[in-house]
Amino acid sequence: MSRLAKRPIILPKGNELKVVNGVIKLKGPKGSTSLDLINGIDVKVEDEKVIVLRDENVALDNSLYGLYWALIRNLVIGANEGFEKRLTMIGVGYRAAIKGNMLDVQVGFSHPTMVEIPSGIKVTIEKTGEIIISGSDKHLVGQFAATVRAIKPPEPYKGKGIRYKDEYVRKKAGKAAKAKA
C-alpha cells in the first residue's frame, strides 16, 4: 500500500468538497475542479481532512491508490494556490502576444504560429519575453506549457528557442570547434 496515501489531506478553510456518484467536486477560492473516481477508491471527509480509502474487495494496484491520493491533493492545492509554469524565449526577434483567445508566438518562422488558450488557463506575457501560464488544474497547465514549448524547443548549438524558466540546455560544440581539435 502507498505510504503517502495513508495520510489525510488537509482541506483549508473556505473549501467545499463533495463526492457525488463517484465524482469529487471541489470548490475553492481559485476556482472549482472535479475528478472522476475509479471503482475501488472512496473518499471520506471528516473534520477538514480528506481521507482516501481503498475497497479491499476490488482488485486494484497499489500504484492507483497512491495516484488518486496525489490527484486529490493536486485538486486541493490548485483550488487554493493554483499552479504556474514560466517559459522564456531566447532568440533575436522572438516575441509573443495574446490576441483574443489565441497565443501568437513569433519565433522566426515564415508563417504565424497561433495556439488556442484552453478555458481555465490564464496566460500573461512580461516585457522580458517570459510567458507565464497559470491555472487551477496542474495537468492542463503542464500540458499547455509543453504545447507552447514544442513550437520551438531549444536547439543545442546556440540555445535559441522556448524553454522552461529553470531548464538547463546543454550546448554542443559546433563544426569549427571540432575542426580545431
Domain boundaries, the chain: 4-80, 83-164
pLDDT, one tens digit for every residue, the chain (181 residues) = 568 888 889 998 888 888 888 899 998 888 888 899 888 888 888 888 998 888 777 777 777 888 989 999 999 999 999 999 999 999 998 999 999 999 999 999 998 899 999 998 999 999 888 999 999 999 999 999 999 999 999 999 988 999 999 989 888 887 875 556 5
Give the pLDDT of residue 117. 96
Give the pLDDT of residue 112. 84
What's this model's pTM, rounded to 2 decimal places?
Answer: 0.86
CB 1 within 8 A of CB 53: no
H helices within 50-113, ranges in order? 62-80
Domain 83-164 indexed as CATH 3.90.930.12: yes
Domain 4-80 indexed as CATH 3.65.10.10: no
Q: Distance between CA 37 and CA 31 in Å, rounded?
A: 20
Give the pLDDT of residue 22. 86
Q: Tell me phi and psi for residue 31, to 5 degrees.
A: 145, -175
Q: Distance between CA 53 and CA 125 in Å, rounded?
A: 42
Fold match, 4-80 / 83-164: yes
Tell me which residue of 78, 83, 26 sits closest to 50, measured CA to CA.
Answer: 26
